[in-house]
Amino acid sequence: MVSRTPAWKRYNWRVIWLSLAYAVFLIAAVYGFKHQLVTGPAAYVVAILPALPIVGIFGAIGRYLVEEQDEYVRMLMVRQTLWASGFTLSLATVWGFLDNFQLVGHIEGYWIVVVWYFGLAIGGLANKVSVGESGC
């Protein structure tokens, strides 16, 4: 976890708004499909709607890294995202082969985002272990 710098506060607000948008879009999409209100090309648009705020959160992380003026705090966040990406890619690769040989069940692709966020927590822990108090 990084400091409460102005850039971090802006990032948090962006994530809050995007999370709210995600909830609204997801509920709307589920409702639309459940009641067969969307068909044809519109169905593709509605299906993609909940994904857009999640993509936006990745953009918000990128924006945060650009806006963060504290170089040390920025470095911690970069390390966290590298941990998250490495963890997610490794797990996805391992799971992909297990799935390919039908040793495990198939998982929906969007779970990769959940794993990536879990990876961020691992990255935060790695920061804490490697730099101690300075990594809080």
The residues binding another protein (CB under 8 A) are: 3, 5, 69-73, 75-76, 130-136
Query: What is d(CA 60, CA 65) in angstroms, rounded to the nearest whole number?
Result: 9
As a whole number of angstroms, the longest Cα–Cα distance in the chain is: 54
1 vs 102: CA distance, rounded Å: 38
**Shortest distance (Å) from residue 131 CB to another protein:** 5
Q: Considering beta carbons, is residue 31 or 72 the nearer one to another protein?
A: 72
C-beta closer to another protein: residue 80 or 88:
80
Pinpoint the alpha helices (H) of the chain.
Answer: 6-34, 40-48, 51-67, 71-100, 111-131
* Closest distance to another protein from the beta carbon of 72 (Å): 4
- Taking the complex as a whole, the smallest distance from the CB of residue 7 to another protein amounts, in Å, to 11
